[in-house]
Copies of this chain bind each other. A is one copy, B any other.
Amino acid sequence: MTFKSYMNQALEQARAAAERGEVPVGAVLVDPNGQVVAVAGNQTRAQCDPTAHAEIVALRAACAAAGSERLVGYDLYVTLEPCAMCAAALAAARVGRIYYGASDPKSGGVAHGARVFSHPQAHHKPEVYDGISGAECEQILREFFSRRRGENGSDTGG
């Protein structure tokens, strides 16, 4: 499979999250053999868990399946630039590469703000590839927030 097809699976998860009323972000973890080992969408509302971002849900599932707190050589595909929490979790898990779609100037922690991988306190720095299916990833988020503003009269954030 190519990186585009992995990102398509992440996009499916993002769309499913939107249908559940969750901020539409999706993630896919791929093992060193190219096998998809975990897929997840954002679940913060349904789980009442501020840590249940797509990346963390997928990471916890993949670690449980591997019986290890480290995923050396695994790749993460995610539709939105990870926040500082997810970036630091991916570093702690020693994930090899991160492919993300849309940039997140408002809440991102890889290319914005905390820039988690740019400090020596991140003991592992995954390779990062941005802009993968970026326009499509962004469109899902834009439609979700536009619809929510229409319903609520205000944007309650994501």
Contact = CB atoms under 8 A, between A and B. Distances in A.
Interface of A: 44-45, 47-52, 56, 59-60, 63-64, 66-70, 83-89, 92-93, 106-109, 112-116, 119-123, 157
A122 to B, nearest CB: 7
A127 to B, nearest CB: 18
- Say whether chain A's binding surface is mostly helix, strand, loop, or mixed: loop
Copies in the complex: 2
B123 A112 contact: no
A11 to B, nearest CB: 24
A67 B47 CA distance: 9
Contacts of A59: 50-51
Nearest to A43: B69
A48 B64 CA distance: 6
A63 to B, nearest CB: 5
A114 B121 CA distance: 8
